[in-house]
């Protein structure tokens, strides 16, 4: 098993189809309130995600990882082109937080709720960065979180359309991330595997991947366990 494979295994503690929230959405048994709660959380998390990317970027010492993070930021912001001397151009319709808010509104969240609801990275994430450990937080994002999003959304998209009446346009946020995060997760794991130099760095990366995967599982689970969370 390669170290990239080990990172993937650490990031996926359980089969995603066994997550209580995912299973109940797929069966059509989740309540509308649980779906609304999930969509509200995803919208806020998407808003904070770019800030988390910037936080890792600000302390990262590896040029290849910085380039990966910059590319991720540009995708999140809806960049469509970049020309030296002229800068980047952006498509507002490709802005990921905008797509996420559209999904949340379709689920029943109000603009006031969307503006008031705020989530951010866990304390471990910020403490690790303050201590100069950027590798763990990068693995948290790139492997722990982003490698789990595509298999989750592949299950949720058809179920949300079939059982809850969401349109293709309303689900664009989820559909977009099936493609881009498949790539991000794979590239992140392979990039980390290529740069770790010793057992300490491997341990940091594994901890980040493990915490990110567990965090994603718990985010999903709580929307089944606690309606309106």
Backbone angles phi, psi at 82, to 5 degrees: -145, 130
Q: What is the pLDDT of residues 114-127, one digit of tens each?
A: 999 988 899 999 99
Question: What is the per-residue pLDDT for 120?
Answer: 87
Q: Going from the N-terminus, what domains does the chain have, and what CATH number goes with each?
A: 3-225 (1.20.910.10)
Question: What is the per-residue pLDDT for 229?
Answer: 43
Phi-psi domain of 108 (left: phi exceeds 0; alpha: psi -120 through 50; beta: other): left
Tokens 């990275």, residue located: 121
Is the pLDDT at 195 greater than 80, yes or no?
yes
Segment 176-180 long-range contacts (CB within 8 Å, at least 24 positions apart) = 176/96, 176/99, 177/96, 177/149, 177/150, 177/153, 178/149, 178/150, 178/153, 178/154, 179/150, 180/75
Segment 160-166 long-range contacts (CB within 8 Å, at least 24 positions apart) = 160/25, 160/35, 162/28, 163/25, 163/28, 164/25, 164/28, 164/32, 164/35, 166/103, 166/106, 166/107
Question: What is the per-residue pLDDT for 228?
Answer: 42
Question: What is the per-residue pLDDT for 45?
Answer: 94
Question: What is the per-residue pLDDT for 79?
Answer: 86
Q: What is the pLDDT of residues 31-82, one digit of tens each?
A: 999 999 999 999 999 989 999 999 999 999 999 999 999 999 998 998 888 8
State the Cα angle at 193 between 82 and 11, rounded to 5°. Answer: 95
Contacts of 39 (CB under 8 A, 6+ apart): 100, 103, 104, 106, 107, 108, 109
Is the pLDDT at 227 greater than 50, yes or no?
no
Is the pLDDT at 226 greater than 60, yes or no?
no
Tell me how far CA of residue 215 lies from CA of 150, 151, 201, 208, in angstroms: 15, 15, 21, 10
pTM of the model: 0.92
Q: pLDDT tier at 225 (50, 70, 90 boundaries)?
A: low
């Amino acid at each position: 098993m390669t170290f990239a494979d080990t990172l993937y295994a650490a990031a996926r503690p359980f089969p995603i189809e066994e997550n209580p929230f995912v299973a109940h959405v797929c069966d059509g048994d989740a309540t509308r309130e649980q779906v609304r709660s999930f969509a509200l959380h995803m919208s806020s998390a998407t808003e904070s995600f770019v800030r988390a990317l910037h936080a890792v970027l600000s302390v990262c010492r590896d040029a290849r990882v910085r380039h990966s993070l910059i590319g991720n930021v540009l995708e999140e912001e809806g960049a469509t082109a970049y020309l030296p001397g002229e800068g980047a151009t952006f498509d507002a319709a490709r802005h990921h937080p905008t797509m996420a808010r559209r999904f949340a509104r379709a689920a029943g969240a109000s603009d006031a709720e969307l503006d008031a609801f705020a989530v951010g990275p866990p304390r471990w994430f910020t403490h690790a960065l303050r201590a100069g450990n950027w590798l763990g937080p990068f693995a948290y994002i790139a492997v722990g979180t982003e490698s789990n999003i595509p298999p989750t959304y592949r299950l949720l998209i058809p179920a949300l359309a079939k059982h809850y009446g969401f349109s293709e346009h309303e689900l664009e946020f989820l559909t977009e991330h099936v493609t881009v995060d498949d790539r991000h997760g794979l590239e992140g794991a392979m990039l980390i595997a290529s740069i770790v130099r010793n057992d300490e760095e491997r341990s940091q990366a594994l901890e980040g991947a493990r915490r990110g995967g567990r965090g994603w599982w718990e985010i999903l689970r709580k929307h089944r366990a606690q309606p309106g969370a």
